[in-house]
Each structure stands twice: as C-alpha cells, then as structure tokens.
Amino acid sequence: MKILGVNAVFHDPSAALVIDGQTVAAAEEERFSRRKHGKRPVPFAAWELPEQAMRWCLTRAGLRVEDLDAVGYSFDPALCLPAEHLGLSDPWDHLRRTYAERAPWFLAEALPGLDPDDVHFVPHHVAHAASAGLAAPGPSSACLVLDGRGERASHLAGHHREGRLEVLAAQQLPHSLGLLYEGLTEHLGFLRSSDEYKVMALASYGIPRHLDDFRSLIRTTPDGGFVTEQIDWSRYAPRVAGEQGGPTLGRAHADLAAGVQRRLEEVLIELATWVHERTGEQMLTMAGGTALNCVANTAIARRTRFDQVWVQPAAGDAGTALGAALRLTTVLPDPFEGGSAATPPRPMTTAALGRDWSDEELADHLRSAHVPFATQADLDALADEVAGALAADDVVAWFQGRSAFGPRALGCRSLLAHPGAQHNLERLNAIKGREQFRPVAPLVLLDRAADIFDGPIPSPYMLFVHDVQPAWRSRIPAVVHVDGTARIQTVDPAAQPVLAAVLQRFEELTGLPALVNTSLNTAGRPMVDSPRDALELFGSAPVDLLVMGPHLVRRSDLFAESGHAGRRTEQRTVAALEPTR
C-alpha cells in the first residue's frame, strides 16, 4: 500500500510517504518554504497544508496522486470539544476543528486527482504513538506521548503489540506538561512552541531552589495521568520582554528554569514507571514535543526499569505525518491482498529521509552561482582535506546526502569545528547569532563513544545527554556543557561512511575522535536543505570551508581573503549567567 501522511493543524507541517510498510520519504514544509516551523501555531493557520512537502514525497517515489491508496491526517476533529470545556482560553480554537473537518477537500485541491474519501483522520496522539511504537526496532513496546495538546488531551500512555495500540491512559486538558513548559518559555522572553530547548539549556546554569513548590503544583495521579496547576511565574523571576531575552536573563531565571526542568524529569520518570508496571515491556518508545527534552529522556533511561528507550527523531508534531501513515498501514485492508491487513511497518533505521542531490547536480549549482570549487572524488582524499581544515581550526559547513527528518543536526546539514578549542563554542554561537549560554554538541565515532561518554550508546539521533568522562572534559571543552554533559551523536561508518572517514582522519591528526556538530543554519532560519540554502549561508556567515558532496569551496578563494573571519565576528555574551558548579 502507498500511504501519504500529513501534519498540518498546529505547527511544523510535514508530509511522509510509506510504501508497503517502508518509510521512503519524510520532510517538513519549512525546508521548502524557508519559514521556521512552517507557520505559527495559531488557529487561523490551521488550514495551511505542507503542499511542497507532499508533492516532493510523491516525486521522490515516482508516484502520481492517483497511485495513493490513502492519506492519513494527524488530527481527528470528531474528538474536539469547545475550548471552554477543555479549560482553554482561546476564543478562536474552534477554527482548528472547522478547518480539520474540511481537510479532505483542502487536500484534494492541493493534490488534484485525490479522492477526498481516501483521506482518513488519525487522532493526534495516536499518530504520535505510531511514529514511535511502529518505527522502533522491536515488535512490542510501552509507549509514552507528551506534548502541548492534541484534540482534547496532552498525553497518552499505551502498549504496542503486533502493530496494535492499546491506550492505557490519556491526560485530558487543560492539564499539560507541554503547555506548562511553553508558558515558562514565553515568560523567559523566548518564542513559545519554538524555543523550549533554550529553557532546557538555561536550566543547567541554575539551582532548583523552588522544587518543593513545583512538586505540589505539578504532580502525577494514580491513573497514569497528572495535574498541572496554574503557576504565576513572576513569583519566582520577573518576566523577560521580547522573543530573544538572552541578554537580560539572570540568576533568578536560571533557577526557575532549573526547578521546572527537574520537576519535569521527576514526573516523566513516574509516568514511565506507571506504564512499565502495566505492560512489563523492556522497551519504552516516546514521541511528542516533550520527548525532545534530551535531559529528561536520559533521566528516564537511567532511573526506570526499561532496558531501552527509543525516541522518534522527529518527536514533535512533524513526526505525526509519519505516524499517521504508519498507523493506516496497520488498520486499513490492503486492496491487493484480498482485504487482509497491509504489510507491517518496518523499523526506522535512519532519519535521512529528505532531499538529496547527485554530485553532478551539486556541481551544476556551484557553477551556476559562479563559485570556484575543487572536487575530491576519492573518499580518503576528501577526508584528508576536510580533517586537515578542521585540525587547523577552520569551521566547516557540511552538506552530505539526504537531509534529516526532525530538528536535529545529524551530520547531513551541519557546522563542524574542532572540539579541543574552547573558543569554538562562542565562535559558533556568534556565527549562528545565538545566545551564548547555549551549548554545541559532539559527533563521535561509534566505537569510541563509550571511552569518552557515559550514557545510552548508540545514540544516533542526539536525543540523550551523556556525562563526559572527567579525563576528557579538558580535551574537548567546546562540546562540554556547564554541567559536564554533552548531547552526542554516535556515527556508524556503515551508515555514514564519509563523515566517519573525516572523524577517523581527524583523530589521526589530533588524537580526538570527536567533532563539534551544530545545525547548518543561522538564528531564526530553518536548517539548510538545498544547495541554494547552503550557498546563501556560506555567503553571509563567516564559515571557512563549504563541503557539498565531494565538492569543496574555500572562503579564501571565494572572497580572495585569508584568515579565520569567524574569529573576528563580534561576540554577544550573557554576562549575568555564570556556571553553577
């Protein structure tokens, strides 16, 4: 069966294509439109569809719209209740239901040839659960979904067995861990439904002084759910004005973030323990925006009885497009198999599900931009040149293979740098225009990871934090956060041979089997996806070397200048924040 999944109602609109149980393509609309998160999560935008992502998925597979057997839409308007019944204060929330009810006809207009009757609504949290439980490397798992909200709930606990989901608990709105964290994000001066990861980073600078208060205000219930009381954040720290509040943040804000982060971890551990007791499973699968909190994920992995925690790489709403498609493969009859169940979904083995370009196509883009470049067709020669540049403390823009589905830089579209140079943290944050309290992460060879980092290994999707071994903290200071941790990505040579070759050669040159890895974008912009995106970034940011496939563009050649321009970039610091030891 050929099933297209679509996410559209809230934020991060996306599309995914599953053929006979195999995920063949998945992408967020922001990668095409170049608008961060695709749109803002307001009711007036609920009708907007990921039109470019949908069409690309079909093109990637060589399909016509008429070839589709079904379309899954990751929201079920039949489950909606009026906002006042949910304890919400949004007078326009009813528009989401109205637009969702009309989604089959909106989709038919966007994809001429689609029969509206072929569109199936998949409940939002069921789609989240499917994106984890049906994509994970195992036939059964306990499942935990947490986010801001779905149709009427903010949480699902379930049990996946043989492709079927048994829902064990669901927390009804207005109680929501995701909305609570979003409210804190906004109070701290950041953009809600966008910048929650900044709060997680800020928490490392604080002390959870108000934890007792938050334990009474945020608590689990015996039925597998929880209660989130209304919290007056200004009791703990003054509100920060503006979407980019970094320069005015102080100790009180860091302490507030630390307290909420710690309580979130405790509640998630209790919820995971509850679902473990009722399923007896050894694997926990997770999705929903809250599952992108890698500090909390690590706490669950370490402090529950699960042997393995598998988190969907696109855990936010983008992943529900994939989940909707996977769900339909398990519940719709296959018309070519006498009405029997379709082929069971196959495990997700990579997040590299987006666009790519051939070596010649990349060269054509460089030629059309009149950019001087060199080509190293030999893998060893390419690794030598790139590793040599990194060892010389150059910053490298890395563009290889298919782009990744989800918000993490996974060695497909990355900025790479020397982890042994402390100044590279400040340097990269300046290049990207980010707050200086935010960390950057390391890439590390899979077979060397356990020598340096303590935590879940392998960790190919940057969804956990690891303690850096004390002996290594001074050797790779650029990637060690103030609390002594790092959010690593392990690199398997079998899956990413070019990147692994660079890492191996870099270790030969420096003795360090790791590199700094951060997303290839600048503040407020989606991650680079296309060659044009990469060239625009390279032309506007002080990056020394651009590597696109086997092609290399040096800044010194392009602008006829030498030296490390990135080091001369003005630095923006947050003087009020110092590490808490």
Residue pair 142/168 in contact by the 8 Å Cβ criterion: no
- The C-alpha atoms of residue 18 and residue 432 are separated, in whole angstroms, by 35
Q: Full-prediction pTM beyond 0.85? A: yes
Helix, strand, or coil (residue 212) = helix
Measured CA distances, 308 to 48, 122, 290 (Å):
37, 27, 18
Q: Alpha-carbon distance 548 to 540, whole Å?
A: 17
Residue type, 543: V
The reported pLDDT for the residue numbered 71 is: 98
Of the candidates 547, 471, 466, 543, the one whose C-alpha atom is nearest the C-alpha of residue 512 is: 471
Q: Helix 124-133 crosses helix 319-331 at what angle (to 10 degrees)? A: 80
Residues of the chain with CATH 3.30.420.40: 2-135+317-331, 177-311
Q: Which of 170, 137, 167 shows the shortest CA–CA distance to 153?
A: 170
Nearest alpha-carbon partner for 43 in 86, 105, 93, 82: 93
Distances (CA, A) of 264 to 179, 217, 291, 437: 12, 11, 11, 21
- Position 339 scores a pLDDT of 56
Residue 467's Cβ-count burial label (10 Å; 0-12, 13-18, 19+) is: middle
Which residues lie below 8 Å from residue 69, measured CB to CB, with a gap of 6+? 1, 2, 3, 118, 332, 335
Parts of the chain with a pLDDT under 70: 242-247, 335-342, 561-581
Distance CA 138, CA 135 (A): 8
Token code pair at residue 150: 């779905």
> Residue 368 and residue 363: Cα distance in Å, rounded?
9
CB 351 within 8 A of CB 379: no
> Cβ-count burial of 581 within 10 angstroms (0-12 exposed, 13-18 middle, 19+ buried)?
exposed
> For 121-135, how does the pLDDT look when each residue is reduced to its tens digit (9 = 90+)?
999 999 999 999 999
Do 501 and 384 contact (CB within 8 A), yes or no? Answer: no
Amino acid letter, residue 514: A
Alpha-carbon torsion, ordered 504, 508, 509, 510, to 10 deg: 90
Q: Which two tokens stand for residue 222?
A: 């015996």
Length of the chain: 581
476-525 pLDDT, tens per residue?
999 999 999 999 999 999 999 999 999 999 999 999 999 999 999 999 99
Per-residue model confidence as pLDDT tens digits over 323-343? 999 999 999 987 666 555 567
Q: Which CATH architecture has domain 177-311?
A: 2-Layer Sandwich (3.30)
Architecture of the domain whose range is 359-568:
Alpha-Beta Complex (3.90)
- For residues 459, 465, 470 and 473, what is the CA-based torsion angle, rounded to 10 degrees? 90
Query: What is the per-residue pLDDT for 558?
Result: 86
Q: 193: left (phi > 0), else alpha (psi -120 to 50), else beta?
A: left
Pick the closest to residue 403 from 581, 548, 199 (CA basis): 548
> Which residues 6+ apart lie within 8 Å of 196 measured at CB?
181, 182, 185, 190, 289, 292, 293
Q: Are 262 and 212 in contact (CB under 8 A)?
A: no
Q: What is Dmax (Cα atoms) for the chain?
A: 68
Cis peptide before 458 (omega within 30 of 0): yes
Residue 302: its pLDDT value, please? 97
What CA–CA distance (Å, rounded) separates 4 from 72?
A: 6
Residue 484 region by backbone torsions, left for phi larger than 0, else alpha for psi between -120 and 50, else beta: left
For Cα atoms 228, 229, 231, give the angle at the middle one, nearest 5 degrees: 115
Domain with CATH 3.90.870.20 in the chain: 359-568
CATH superfamily of 2-135+317-331: ATPase, nucleotide binding domain (3.30.420.40)
- Strands 514-519, 413-417: pairing kind: antiparallel
Which DSSP helix (H) or strand (E) runs through 141?
Answer: strand 140-146
CA pair distance 366, 532, nearest whole angstrom = 9
User: b/e per residue, 323-345, with b = 16+ CB within 10 A?
Assistant: bbbbbbbbbbeeeeeeeeebeeb
Q: Residue 333 in contact with residue 340, Cβ under 8 Å?
A: yes
Spatial distance between the Cα atoms of 284 and 291, rounded to a whole number of angstroms = 12
